Amino acid sequence: MAPISVKSVLISESVDPRCRTVLEENGIRVTEKQNMTKDALMAEIRDYDGLVVRSATKVTADVINAADNLKIIGRAGTGVDNVDVVAATRKGIIVMNTPSGNTISAAELTCALLMSLSRQVDLFSEMCLKKKVTFWFFMGAELYGKVLGIVGLGRIGKEVASRMQSFGMRTIGYDPITPPEVSASWGVEQMQLEQLWPQCDYITVHTPLMPSTVGLLNDESFAKCKKGVKVVNCARGGIIDEDALLRALESGQCGGAGLDVFVEEPPKNRPLVDHPNVISCPHLGASTKEAQARCGEDIALQIVDMVKGKNLVGAVNAQVLANTFCQESHQLIKLGEAVGAVLKSCTASKKPFSIQITTQGDCMKSSTGYLTSAVLVGLLNHESGFCPNLINVLSLAQESGIMVNQTHCAPDGAADGVCRVEIVADGISYKASGSVQGGVPVLLELSDSVFRQPVPLTGNLLLFKAPASPQLLSSVAGLLATEGVEIESFSAPIDRTGDLWYCVGVSSLLRDLGALKTSVKEAAQVTL
């Protein structure tokens, strides 16, 4: 990926001082302003390339649309619930979190709540202070030999499993992404939720909040659990249905709950918070000195690495950039954008309906994703209302009704390291293929016209379609001279029959392509 210029960053919340230090040590100007209103943030953010937040700042679509220069939103923490990722993506802004910064702290709090539930530490502490019980009344349960169900086997789920196994707990889990053989290597047997619910003495959830996880634990799933099951949520409020949880607590189906997160924070569901079998915390998962120091430094280092073009860690909406941190990828991105721009010029008056991008050859295997985006950037650039980049261009294409397909195939004879693109516009197919040769993007073929010599995709190019003729070049040269345009290079196709595409390097673009209509059937021009 070509380095992204980030010269100024606004930090809108209290983060570890190391965050500012790292950014400033790398030449980035930092301003810290806390507790801003939405209107104040919208007015302030216009002048910055980057924004660093924790969880209090609500980075809404209004804030994002007010940010004229914003390129990166850094969340010093794991979740990005407070950031409108869709709006940021549409504007081509990278949203980044610190995926491992608070892992240990969140895992340790989860374990603390599991242990507190087993021994009812908070309840008995309160009763002891009020001198309501004698020692023989204190009766808890051991964790040893019990079954812990872990829903979500990412970084935090893995750390919880490791720690609770040391108590002699059997750990089972569910995760639609982590392969079963991976979780098995750290002692967690995976199964479907329908199998998991009835086996668990304790359940802890560690998933993001998304439509598929809202209310994951509800009346129906509680009914499938063991009577007296205890649950912990240190992930996101709403994963456990709060009303269903309260009903399960009141019926005894749920024997206790440890909650660090709620649907509304501070929590307004007082009957749940005040229930004697509920341990409530005010969202403390990342509230340790170590986690805050780690998250603050991590987000700064991640921004610096991105700016320097080293790598991209924690980008939640820019997976396409993952393989773009090498010189070869920069050249391929230029190739894709150039091929897209060439096809755009050929279809200037037509609306693209579908586009097929095919990468060919082993050296292109990991580039299909970002090459597809690069071609679309070239194709959609300068469209009314569009500011496409590799981050937002797929969603912009979808909004425009363009069907995008991408494939990779093995090399065909000598064709290795080739990008082939076909566009269908107004029922007509346009094709182009290109590659990188000697570090320079070149055009190999245009709509079945294979050029004798690869055409460097740079400078001012005039493309025209005409029947092969000995007088063609002189005729076109004369028309160009009349318009004050000089020919700098000429590329002809190998074939000499039928209507063919030619490419001419010119000193400047024609004011009006109609000047060529007496000699050619179609014409296009582009500056690369």
Residues forming the active site: 236, 265, 283
Q: Are 254 and 276 in contact (CB under 8 A)?
A: no
Strand partners, 365: none
Phi, psi of 256, rounded to the nearest 5 degrees: 170, 155
What lies within 8 Å, CB to CB, of 292 at 6+ separation is 15, 16, 76, 286
What's the rounded Cα separation, in Å, for the pair 86 and 162?
A: 35
Q: Is 29 left (phi over 0), alpha (psi -120 to 50) or beta?
A: beta
Distance CA 28, CA 20 (A): 9
Q: Is 358 helix (H, G, I), strand (E, B) or coil?
A: strand
DSSP sequence for 367-421? THHHHHHHHHHHHHTT-TT----TTTHHHHHHHTT-EEEEEEE--BTTB-SEEEE
Tokens at 5, concatenated: 């210029």
- Whole-angstrom Cα distance, residue 337 to residue 323? 17
Classify residue 77 as left (phi > 0), alpha (psi -120 to 50) or beta. Answer: left
Q: Which amino acid is at 510?
A: L
Cα separation, 437 vs 454, whole angstroms: 9
Secondary element (H or E) of residue 450: strand 449-456
